[in-house]
Amino acid sequence: MNELSGQTALVTGGTAGIGLESARLLARHGATVIITGRSADRGAAAVAEIGAGVRFVAADLSDLESVKALVRQCGEVDIVVNNAASFPGALTVDQDVSSFESTFDTNVRGAYFLVAALAPGMLRRGHGSIVNVTSMVAFKGVPGASSYSASKAALESLTRTWAAEFSPHGVRVNSVAPGPTATAGVAAEWGDVNDELGKALPLGRTAQAAEIAEAVLFLASPRSSFITGSTLHADGGGAAA
């Protein structure tokens, strides 16, 4: 259970849902974990829930100054889990500019410049793993998810580009593309739509956040030592149907 001992993992959006469960699992397997989020109260609650080996750093990934401050507070990082996300639901004809921009600021720009700042240390040390949490909708059309799906498709493209740039120096980059997952954040934004998407999958249900966290752990850990530039579709068969 200590396969990640001596490693530091940064999980963005780590105070709830997939991020919280990923942080919990990484800590359980020996990593020192830094979780980020915008709410100090939720951060404190997450740290108390997970226990030793975890600390919280407040950060807003849509704000580049906040990203820079996060990098300064993190120090050297061995594992980055880009999980923080904005996921507004709106049909394309109803999408407002502000919501579109905030989605890309968090889901793409924030992740991009966070990795740009942390990757040099990984490259210098000759090891590291970056896991981008994307989405089934990056590959499959879902009405009302246009800005979110486009942002996650952009992150999928970065997975492949970063793998090409970083992997010759020992840093692996992969994606986990979850299907509909039962989290409080998704329920608040999408309501019953998420459950209906789950019922339409070959497995006939939504995922639990802890199930997606297992995929994150696999790609973050030495278990996937010969995998880079790949996407693990943890989507209940959504990519196949």
What CA–CA distance (Å, rounded) separates 210 from 92? 32
What does the DSSP 8-state code read for residue 130?
A: E
Active site residue 112: no
DSSP codes joined into one string, 26-94: HHHTT-EEEEEES-HHHHHHHHHHH-TTEEEEE--TT-HHHHHHHHHHH-S-SEEEE-------B-GGG
Catalytic residue among 87, 100, 148, 162: 148
Q: Is 184 left (phi over 0), alpha (psi -120 to 50) or beta?
A: alpha
Residues identified as active-site: 148
